[in-house]
Every structure is written in C-alpha cells, then in structure tokens.
C-alpha cells in the first residue's frame, strides 16, 4: 500500500488537504474516536477478520438482478461474467448492452487502479467527465475523493481501486435506477472477486444500495459493521465501510467531518485486516 510512500512534489500537504476539504482544524479532534463509542464496533469487526461473523454485522447482498434487456437468461449471463478474467471483463463491459444506459454513453467506465489493491472504493456511476475520459471520479467529486485518499496516505492507482455501481453514465447524471444497478451488479461482483480487496468503502447511497441493498438512510448506516460475504468475494469476508459520496460532501460542509471519521475507521479496519493473515484461495 502507499502508506509511508513519500508524496510527490506537487502533492498538497496533509494540512492543506484538510483545509481543502473544510475539515481543519476540528478534524484532528474528531479523528480520535471515543473508546466507549468505537470499542464494540472494533470488537465485532475484529471477529469478522477471524472468520466468525459479528452479531452486529449485516452481510452484503447485491440487489437482485433484473431481466436483461438483451433477453439473455440472467443466470447464464451472470455465470459468464463470473468466469471472466480482467481482459474479458473490460471487453464485456465495453460491449455491454444489457440496459438502456448503453444508449447514451460515450464509453463504459469499468474502473481504475491497482487490480490487486487492498482498498476498493465504490461510487455511483460515471458522470459527464468520466464518460468522456473513461475513468471514474475525474471531475470535481473525484478531486475531493483524491484529497480524501491522500488524507489517509492513499493514492489513486496505488493499492487503491475505484469502481462504480454502474459502468455507464446515467443521462443527465441522474442516480442510477435499481434495475440498472442490478443488471450491472455481476460486473462489480466480478471486480471484487478478482481484486480480493481487504476493505470496501461504499461512497453514497447508490453504492450502498447496489452492494448492501436498500437498508435505510446513509446517515443510519454509517459506522455500522457490514461485511461483504466470503462466498461472493471468493475468499474471506470483506469489511465494508459506508460513507458519504464526495459529490454530496462538496455540497454539505458539516458532513465532511463525519466522512473523516469514516475514513479513520476504515484505516483502523485495514490495519486490523492486515494483522490477520489472508486465507489461501
Ligand atoms: N460520481 C461517481 O459516483 N462516480 C464517478 O465515477 C464520478 C462521479
């Protein structure tokens, strides 16, 4: 991972980044969670890493797939996608016409980053700039996401993979519909299985809906210990952290502090995950 990696010379300092995110100076104080509040969650999360599901954990369940617009049997299609390697996945997503989003896209956007990253960040779907450039999170929200990554010593492309719930831009940057996310879910599932991240961070409601299902408001889900189940990931259960979408944070200053809390929690979880040896596949 990039922790400890010297920042490049053009990078902002941590203090500058925190200011940029509107999180300074109160960030530092909020970065120290109270023991009373965090301990039960950490105990539960530690038990996830050791293979026994915590009582409080809610396992991820992808939204039930809908009917493919192409008419293919969803089960067959899912199986085909589940068997793809990275090249097949790239091609499959580029050629995908399984829902109406293909009609207005310039290109499908699979994801970006280290394909064996420990960290997987999942957003909603490509916007106009992502659609034009073929890379997730390259617009204003992406700049904030990059700042968030830097704040926890991460860097796009280095031990981090960034994907979206849907691979094609919803017209007008609207939120993807449940059926669109369901049709796209096998691609995301396959990405997770190939990457085998140690931690998944869900950015915003659509990502939560796509991976965990419709469980409630984002505010009610933050801080709860979700896991992505071993069966889906083809390996170990993966802790899942829910936080706000960067585009939302650009509009809502007060919630940036909460996002920082989430990132701190994610970093703690990652340290725990790394302390536990991975099981062989
Ligand atoms: N918002 C997202 O959720 N994903 C992107 O790739 C860009 C903006």
- Ligand 1 pocket test, candidate residues 108, 149, 245, most atoms within 8 A of CB: 245
Is 170 touching ligand 1 by the criterion CB < 6 Å?
A: no
Q: Calculate the average pLDDT of the chain.
A: 81
pLDDT bucket at 106, cuts 50 / 70 / 90: very high
Q: DSSP code of 103?
A: G
* Dist. CA 248–CA 50, nearest whole Å: 34
Q: What is the pLDDT of residue 279?
A: 56
What share of the chain has pLDDT > 90, as a percent?
Answer: 67
Is 239 touching ligand 1 by the criterion CB < 6 Å?
A: no
Q: What is the pLDDT of residue 75?
A: 77
pLDDT bucket at 2, cuts 50 / 70 / 90: very low
Is 127 touching ligand 1 by the criterion CB < 6 Å?
A: yes
pLDDT bucket at 6, cuts 50 / 70 / 90: very low
Is 150 touching ligand 1 by the criterion CB < 6 Å?
A: no
Q: What is the pLDDT of residue 211?
A: 96
242 C-alpha to ligand 1 centroid (Å): 16
What share of the chain has pLDDT > 70, as a percent?
Answer: 72
pLDDT bucket at 233, cuts 50 / 70 / 90: confident
Helix (H, G, I), strand (E, B) or coil at 155: strand
Q: What is the pLDDT of residue 16?
A: 54
Q: What is the pLDDT of residue 235?
A: 77
Q: What is the pLDDT of residue 46?
A: 37
Q: How many CB atoms lie under 10 A from the CB of residue 56?
A: 15
Q: 177-211, pLDDT tens digit by residue?
A: 999 999 999 999 999 999 999 999 999 999 999 99
* Dist. CA 83–CA 73, nearest whole Å: 16
Looking from the CA of residue 245, the nearest atom of ligand 1 is 3
Q: What is the pLDDT of residue 35?
A: 23
228 C-alpha to ligand 1 centroid (Å): 21
Token readout for 150 is 């830097």
pLDDT bucket at 278, cuts 50 / 70 / 90: low
Q: Has residue 162 got a pLDDT over 60? A: yes
Is 113 touching ligand 1 by the criterion CB < 6 Å?
A: no
Among 27-31, 159-163, 245-249, which is the least confidently predicted range?
27-31
Cα separation values, 233 from 5, 67, 130, 190, 264, Å: 28, 23, 27, 8, 24
- Tokens 């064996």 correspond to 116
Work out the average pLDDT over 224-252.
91
Task: Residue 207: name the closest of 144, 122, 140 by CA.
Answer: 122
Q: Please indicate whether residue 22 or residue 172 has the higher confidence score (pLDDT).
A: 172
Q: What is the pLDDT of residue 149?
A: 97
Q: What is the pLDDT of residue 212?
A: 94
Asked if residues 57 and 44 have their Cβ atoms less than 8 Å apart, the reply is: yes
Q: 35-48, pLDDT tens digit by residue?
A: 222 222 222 343 33
Is 126 touching ligand 1 by the criterion CB < 6 Å?
A: yes
Task: Residue 21: name the closest of 270, 263, 200 by CA.
Answer: 263
Is 141 touching ligand 1 by the criterion CB < 6 Å?
A: yes
144 C-alpha to ligand 1 centroid (Å): 11
- Ligand 1 pocket test, candidate residues 122, 129, 137, most atoms within 8 A of CB: 137
Is 131 touching ligand 1 by the criterion CB < 6 Å?
A: no
The contacts of residue 259 (CB under 8 Å, 6+ apart) are 148, 243, 244, 249
Residue nearest to atom 7 of ligand 1 (CA): 137
């Amino acid at each position: 991972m990039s922790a400890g990696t010297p920042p490049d010379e053009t990078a902002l300092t941590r203090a500058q980044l925190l200011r940029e995110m509107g999180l300074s100076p109160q960030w530092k104080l909020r970065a120290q969670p109270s023991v009373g509040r965090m301990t039960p969650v950490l105990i539960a999360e530690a038990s996830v890493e050791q293979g026994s599901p915590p009582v409080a954990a809610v396992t991820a369940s992808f939204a039930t797939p809908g009917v493919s617009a192409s008419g293919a049997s969803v089960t067959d299609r899912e199986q085909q996608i589940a068997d793809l390697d990275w090249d097949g996945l790239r091609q499959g997503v580029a050629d995908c016409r399984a829902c109406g989003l293909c009609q207005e896209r310039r290109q499908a956007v699979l994801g970006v980053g280290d394909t064996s990253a420990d960290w997987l960040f999942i957003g909603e779907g490509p916007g106009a700039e992502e659609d034009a450039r073929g890379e997730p999170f390259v617009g204003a929200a992406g700049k904030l996401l990059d700042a968030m990554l830097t704040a926890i010593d991460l860097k796009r492309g280095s031990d981090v993979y960034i994907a979206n719930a849907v691979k094609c831009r919803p017209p007008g940057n609207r939120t993807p519909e449940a059926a669109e996310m369901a049709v796209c879910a096998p691609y995301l599932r396959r990405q997770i299985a190939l990457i085998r991240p140690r931690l998944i961070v869900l950015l915003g409601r659509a990502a939560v809906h796509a991976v965990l299902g419709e469980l409630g408001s984002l505010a009610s889900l933050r801080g709860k210990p979700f896991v992505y189940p071993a069966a889906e990931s083809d390996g170990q259960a993966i802790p899942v952290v829910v936080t706000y979408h960067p585009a939302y944070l650009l509009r809502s200053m007060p919630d940036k502090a909460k996002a920082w809390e989430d990132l701190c929690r994610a970093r703690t979880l990652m340290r725990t995950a790394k302390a536990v040896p991975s099981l062989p596949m």
